Amino acid sequence: MKIKWRDYQGHRGYDELIAPDGQPRPGCEALIAHLNSLGERGLRARQRAAEQAIVEMGITFTVYSEGQNIDRAWPLDIIPRVIPAAEWQRVARGLEQRLQALNLFIDDLYHEQKILRDGVVPAELVASSREFLAQCRGVSPPLGVWAHICGTDLVRDEHGVIRVLEDNLRVPSGVSYMLENRAVMKRVFPELFANASIAPVDDYPNRLFDLLASLSPRPGDAPEIVVMTPGVFNSAYFEHAFLAQRMGAELVEGNDLVVLDDDCVYLRNIDGLKRVDVIYRRVNDAFLDPEVFRPDSLLGVRGLFRAWRKGNVALANAPGAGVADDKVIYSYVPDIIRYYLDQEPLLPNVPTWRLSEPEALAYALENLDKLVVKPANESGGYGMLVGPAATRRQLAEFRQRIQANPRNFIAQPTLYLSTAPTLCGSAIEPRHVDLRPFVLQGESTWSTPGGLTRVALRKGSLVVNSSQGGGSKDTWIVAERR
Amino acid sequence: MLSSVAIRCYWTGRYLERAENMARLVAVYSDLLLDLPGEAGVDWRTLIDVCGSRAAFERYRGWMLERSAVRFLTAEPDNPGSILSSIRFARENLRTLRDVVPREGFEVVNELYLFAEARLGRATQRRARGELLDQVVGHCQRMTGLLAGTMLHAEPYQFIRIGRHLERADMTSRILDVAGDLLEKDERVLAAHGTSLWVNVLRSASAYQAYRLAVRSRIAPLRVVHFLLREPTFPRSVRHCLEQIASAVAQLPVHDAVLQEVAAVRQAVDALNLRELVREALHREMDALQRRLIGLHEVMERTWFFPAYQAIARP
C-alpha cells in the first residue's frame, strides 16, 4: 500500500512535512519515501516496536489520579517532525538572543531597575508580579545569569512563521523525553539514521553538567553537583532521576540537605556531611526554603536561600528568575531585547493583548469566543480559555474572572498551529504540534538542536500537554543534501 | 551514599523478607491446623501472636476466625504487617531506587504488587491459598536472586542484605517464641501432638528438610531450638543471619559501633543455656533477643541513617 498524501491534504494551515501540493517539503523526501515503502502494516509494526521499547526502557510520566500516582508509558508517535537545518540555525540564534536579553532583564530588575526607570516596562507590572521576589534584590549570582535553563515553547502559525508562545524560566521539563524519544527512534528506524544527516541531541546532559560545574563557588575542585527533586510524586520525577543519572549527579530531596551555621549546604551521607556546590533544583521557588518562602514547605531546605545569597552554593535556575516568564511580561520581550541588546528580535511573539490596558480589555471581552485567554502565572495549560472551543457558560464565567482582575490575564488570537502527519489507528492524519527547545546559558548560550515536539493526539485539539492527552514526536534537524 | 538512600535500601530488604516470611507462615499454618484437633489449643490467633498484632486483630476480626485471620495477614491494606502492605512498602521504596537497583528489580516487585492487589484477597479460600502464597514466595525469591546476580555488590546492596537478614533473624526468634508457648501446653496434648508441633516450628522457618539433612536425628525440642538459633550452615538460623549482617556491615564506612553491636547480639545468642531455655525460658529469652535486634537497628540509625551533625567533623 502506498500512502496517499494527496488525501492527507484538505486542511487549512501549515503542515510540517507535506507541502500544499501533496509533495514532501525540502528535507523530508527520504523520510516520506521510506514511510511509503513501509506501508500501513509496516508502520504499525514499527509503532508497536516503539511502544515495546518505551515499556522496556521504562520511559514513563506520572499522572496523579484517584489519590495515587500512576506511571504511564510515555506516548511517542513514530513519524518524526522535520525542520531543515538552515531554518533551525535562524531559530536557534533567536532563542539564544532571547534568553540573553531575559537574563539581563532579570539581573536589572534585582539591581538598578533601569528598564523600569526608562519606562520601557511599567514598574507596577513588576511590583504586582507574584514571581518577583523582593528577597533577591541585590544578589549577584555567578556570571550574572539567573535563568540557566530555559524551555521556550515555539509554535508555527498558518503562514509558516515560527513564533514564541511562552518562555519557561522556572523549572521547565521535557528534555529527558526529547533524549529518550531519540533513543527509541534509533532502535525503531536505524536505517533512516544511517542514511540521513540528522543532528544528534544526546550532548545535552554533558552541556548541562558543564554549565552547572561552571557555577561552582569553589572553582578548581571537582564540584559536588546535585539534582533536587520534590520527590517521587512529582509528575517530572522520571526526568529528575534521568538527568541525575546521566550527569552522574546525586538525586536528592530537601531532607537530604542541611545548611549549617557556616551558611554552607551539605549532603547527608552515611559517612558524614559533604559540602554541595551546585544544586540543579526542580523545586519551585515557593517551596525552596521555609525560612524565607512558604513556612509549611516540606520539600525545601531551611537556610538554602541564605547560603545562595552568600554565594556559598549555586542554584539553577536562580530564585526569582520566574519574574520574566510572567505572561504579561512576555508581551514586552521584543522591547526587552531591543533595550538590552540593541538588536531586533529574531523570533516574533504571538500577538498579545494585555488586558490591563482598557482598549485591549474592551476588545477581548467583545471577542472572547475567538481568543485564547491565559492567566499570567500558570503553566501546563491550566486555567486557560480557548474561546472557539468554550461553552457559553465557560465564556461567561471567564468574562467575570477577567473583569475581577484584568492584570492577571492576556489574550491572544486562536492560533491555527501547524500540523504534522501522525499515526492515528490505521490512518495517517494531521495533528497539531508545538516545539519546546531547551536553551542553556552560562559562560555561553546554547540551544538543543530541535527539542521536544508535542502533538495533540485528539483530532482538531490544540492542547499538547502530556498531562492532558498530548503525545510527542522526535524532532529532526536535517541538513539538506547538496 | 546518601543516608536516605541507605534507609530505603535497608527497608526494601526488610519488607521483601517480611512478605516472604509471612506467605510461608500462613501456608504452614493452614496445613498445620488441618492436622491438629481443636483441643491442641493452637489456632489462627497463635499466628497473629507471632506477628505481634493481637490487639489490632481483635479489633478487626469478624466472626469467622480463619477467614478474618488470613485476610488480615495477607491482603488487608490497613494492616501494616500484611503481605500486601509489605509489598507495597517495598515497591514505594524501590520506586525511588531505580538508579541504584537494576531496572528489572522494580519490575519484579511492581508485578508482585499488582498481583497481590488483584488476587491475594482470594487467599481466604483454602483451595486457592497455597498457590497464591507460593506465587508470593516465588516472586520474593526471584527478587533476591536477581539482586544477588545482577546488582553491584556495593554499599546499597549491603544495606539491602542487612535489612533482609535482620528481618529474618527477627522472624526466626518469633517462631521460637511461639514454640515457647506451645511447650506450656498440658502433658496430654504434648504427648499426642508434640512432635507434629515441632515439625511445624521447623517448617515455619523453612527448616524441616535442612534439619533432616544437617541433624540426622529424631526431632526433639532441644535440637530444634539449637538448629534455629545456632546452626551456622542453615541460612535462616539467627547465628547465620548475624554473620551475614556482620559481613555486610564490615563493607560499609564508619562501621565500628554497628559491628560491636552485632558481636554483642551474637555473644548473647551463644551464651544462652539451651536446656534451661527449652525447660522454662524460651518465651522470655526470645523476647530479649527481639529487643536486642531492635537495639541493633537503633545503632544503625545513629550511625548511618540519622546521624547527629555535631558528631561529624566539618571539612
pLDDT digits (tens, 9 = 90+) for B3-26: 999 999 999 999 999 999 999 989
pLDDT score at A379: 56
- Residue A45, min C-alpha distance to chain B (Å): 25
**What distances in angstroms separate CA A194 from CA A20, A180, A190, A198, one per listed residue?**
29, 18, 6, 9
Rounded to a whole number of angstroms, the distance between the first and last alpha carbons of chain B is 17
**Phi-psi group of A140: left, alpha or beta (phi > 0 → left; psi -120 to 50 → alpha; rest → beta):** beta
pLDDT digits (tens, 9 = 90+) for A241-272: 999 989 989 999 999 999 999 999 999 999 99
**CA closest to A269 among chain B residues:** B2
Partnered with residue A257 across adjacent β-strands are A267
- Those residues whose C-beta lies under 8 Å from the C-beta of residue B161, and which sit 6 or more positions away, are B13, B244, B245, B248
pLDDT score at B314: 44
Mean pLDDT of the region A90-94: 97
**CA closest to B107 among chain A residues:** A58
Coil, helix or strand at residue B61 = coil
Angle made by CA atoms B247, A267, A206, in degrees to the nearest 5: 100
Helix, strand, coil percent content, chain A, rounded in steps of 5: 35, 25, 40
pLDDT score at A3: 66
Split at pLDDT 50, 70, 90, the class of A219 is confident
Split at pLDDT 50, 70, 90, the class of B315 is very low
| Residue % of chain A over a pLDDT of 90 | 66
pLDDT score at A324: 92
Is pLDDT above 80 for A105?
yes
Split at pLDDT 50, 70, 90, the class of B278 is confident
What number is the ipTM of this complex? 0.82
Is pLDDT above 80 for B252?
yes
Which residue from B6, B95, B96 is facing A270, i.e. has the nearest CB?
Answer: B6
Chain A interface with B: residues with Cβ < 8 Å: 58, 231-232, 241, 244-245, 250-253, 255-256, 258, 260, 262, 267-275
User: Mutation test of the interface with chain B: which of A270, A299, A301, choosing the one with the most B Cβ atoms within 10 A?
Assistant: A270
Q: Do B2 and A256 touch (CB under 8 A)?
A: yes
CA B180 to chain centre: 17
Which residue from A58, A232, A269 is facing B2, i.e. has the nearest CB?
Answer: A269
Q: Which of A97-106, A285-294, B108-117, B174-183 has the lowest mean pLDDT?
A: B174-183
**CA closest to B253 among chain A residues:** A271
Residues of chain B with C-beta less than 8 angstroms from the C-beta of A301:
none
Q: Which of A138-152, A164-178, B25-39, B282-296 has the lowest mean pLDDT?
A: B25-39
Partnered with residue A278 across adjacent β-strands are A225, A314
- Residue B101, min C-alpha distance to chain A (Å): 12
How far apart CA A439 and CA A446 sit, in angstroms, is 6
Q: Which of A63-72, A107-116, A178-187 has the lowest mean pLDDT?
A: A63-72
Instruction: Lay out the sheet containing A265-269: strands in order across.
Output: A257-259, A265-269, A272-275
How far apart CA A356 and CA A370 sit, in angstroms, is 19
Residues of chain B with C-beta less than 8 angstroms from the C-beta of A267:
2
How far apart CA A205 and CA B245 sit, in angstroms, is 38
All domains in chain A, ordered by first residue: 218-312 (3.40.50.11290), 353-413 (3.30.1490.270)
Is pLDDT above 50 for A210?
yes
Coil, helix or strand at residue A448 = coil
Mean residue pLDDT across chain A: 90
Q: Which residue has the higher pLDDT, A408 or A164?
A: A164
pLDDT digits (tens, 9 = 90+) for A41-75: 899 999 999 998 888 777 888 776 656 667 788 89
pLDDT digits (tens, 9 = 90+) for A394-444: 999 989 999 998 888 899 998 889 999 999 887 889 999 999 999 999 999
pLDDT digits (tens, 9 = 90+) for A349-372: 999 999 988 999 999 999 999 999
Is pLDDT above 50 for B276?
yes
pTM as predicted: 0.86
pLDDT score at A464: 78
The x, y and z cell numbers of residue A200, run together, are 544528534
pLDDT digits (tens, 9 = 90+) for B225-235: 999 999 999 99
pLDDT score at B188: 66
Q: How many residues does chain B have?
A: 315
Q: Do A232 and B95 touch (CB under 8 A)?
A: yes
**CA closest to B301 among chain A residues:** A270
Is pLDDT above 80 for A6?
no
**Contact B3/A270 with Cβ under 8 angstroms?**
yes
Mean pLDDT of the region B145-151: 95
Is pLDDT above 70 for A384?
yes
Q: Pick the closest to residue A385 from A361, A354, A364 (CA basis).
A: A364
Q: Do B3 and A270 touch (CB under 8 A)?
A: yes
Residue with cell 477467614: B67
Is pLDDT above 90 for A317?
yes
Mean pLDDT of the region B293-303: 96
Mean residue pLDDT across chain B: 89
How far apart CA A81 and CA A27 sit, in angstroms, is 11
Query: Dihedral, CA atoms, B281, B287, B290, B291, nearest 10 degrees?
Result: -120
How far apart CA A47 and CA A185 sit, in angstroms, is 10
Mean pLDDT of the region B60-71: 91
DSSP A11: -
Is pLDDT above 70 for A382?
no
Mean pLDDT of the region B75-82: 93
Contacts 24+ apart (CB under 8 A), B310-314: B312/A272, B312/A273, B313/A272, B314/A260, B314/A262, B314/A273
Kind plus residue range of the DSSP H or E element containing A162:
strand A162-168
Count of CB atoms within 10 A of residue A79's CB?
22
Q: Which residue has the higher pLDDT, A229 or B99?
A: A229
The x, y and z cell numbers of residue A218, run together, are 569553589
Mean pLDDT of the region B236-263: 97
Q: Which of A440-454, B37-51, B61-75 has the lowest mean pLDDT?
A: B37-51
pLDDT score at A1: 45
Rounded to a whole number of angstroms, the distance between the first and last alpha carbons of chain A is 31
Q: Which of A1-5, A290-294, B140-144 has the lowest mean pLDDT?
A: A1-5
How far apart CA B90 and CA B168 sit, in angstroms, is 16
**CA closest to B92 among chain A residues:** A232
Is pLDDT above 50 for B312?
no
How far apart CA A108 and CA A102 sit, in angstroms, is 10
pLDDT score at B313: 43
DSSP A74: P
Mean pLDDT of the region A303-331: 94
Q: Do A270 and B98 touch (CB under 8 A)?
A: no
pLDDT score at B185: 67
Split at pLDDT 50, 70, 90, the class of A39 is confident
Q: A–B: how many Cβ contacts below 8 A?
A: 57
Q: Where are the alpha helices (DSSP H) in B151-230?
A: 155-183, 187-204, 208-215, 221-230
User: Mutation test of the interface with chain A: which of B101, B304, B314, choosing the one with the most A Cβ atoms within 10 A?
Assistant: B314
The x, y and z cell numbers of residue B64, run together, are 469467622
Split at pLDDT 50, 70, 90, the class of B122 is very high
Mean pLDDT of the region A177-192: 93
Q: Pick the closest to residue A457 from A418, A429, A426, A438 (CA basis).
A: A429
Out of A257-271, B46-60, B300-314, the most confident range is A257-271
